[in-house]
Amino acid sequence: MAEMTSSENVDFELVRRVQRGDSAAFDLLVRKYQNRVVALIGRYIHDWSECQDVAQETFLRAYRALGNFRGDAQFSTWLHRIAVNTAKNHLVAHKRRPPGEDIDIDDAEQFESALRLRDNDTPERELMRQEMEQTVMSAVEALPEELRAAITLREVDGMSYEEIAQHMQCPIGTVRSRIFRARDAIDARLRPLMDAPRERERAIR
């Protein structure tokens, strides 16, 4: 069995505390993972308030099932599975079709900040969304060819990492690296747009 990282050790100890009746320890796990879980669910469910409800249901299910957690997998992996299943069940219950391919949690986290912009559809939000789309398009155009190809195959064509690796004839690790670098470059261009509303809010206060 591989040696656990310090983060995994902390998770394991918090789980053990919850199992011994310390509910406050679960609050620490929620605080640590809530943004990741919301980001993951947001790749399945695009409505912000719905996404929050499903995240709450995910943690409720996790809390109920925690007594059976034995540490055979990392807590984050275990929670990821619960989040995906809860999101899929929600879509099925509302007669919507879940995506065929499960979403990687690291993949979802890249778009956590962009997800917050879906909160409501005021004219200002719509204008910001249009500006973001234009910024993304120009950022993608400015990418080196291999990064632009990888991110386009993933986000536009919806290919899996394995399919992209075959298409680009490179290892899957290279695909992940290219997509990460592409998203990092796009995020750098988007960050000033996402920071602007916060600056306005501070100015009003």
- For residue 97, what pLDDT is reported? 66
Residue 11 shares a structural domain with residue 98: yes
Residue 24 shares a structural domain with residue 96: yes
Residue 21 shares a structural domain with residue 49: yes
How many domains does the chain fold into? 2
Please report whether residue 149 resides in a domain. yes
pLDDT surpasses 60 at 203: no
Please report whether residue 141 resides in a domain. yes
- Write out the chain in H/E/C secondary structure: CCCCCHHHHHHHHHHHHHHCCCHHHHHHHHHHHHHHHHHHHHCCCCCHHHHHHHHHHHHHHHHHHHHHCCCCCCHHHHHHHHHHHHHHHHHHHCCCCCCCCCCCHHHHHCCHHHHHHHCCCCHHHHHHHHHHHHHHHHHHHCCCHHHHHHHHHHHCCCCCHHHHHHHHCCCHHHHHHHHHHHHHHHHHHHHHHHHHHHHHHHHHC
Please report whether residue 67 resides in a domain. yes
Please report whether residue 175 resides in a domain. yes
Residue 141 shares a structural domain with residue 84: no
Please report whether residue 181 resides in a domain. yes
| Domain span holding position 77 | 6-103
Residue 16 shares a structural domain with residue 97: yes
> pLDDT grade, residue 110 (50/70/90)?
very low
User: Comparing 48-52, 60-64, 91-95, 126-130, which segment has the lowest mean pLDDT?
Assistant: 126-130
Residue 91 shares a structural domain with residue 172: no
What pLDDT, in 10s, does the model give residues 66-95?
988 888 788 888 998 899 899 988 888 877
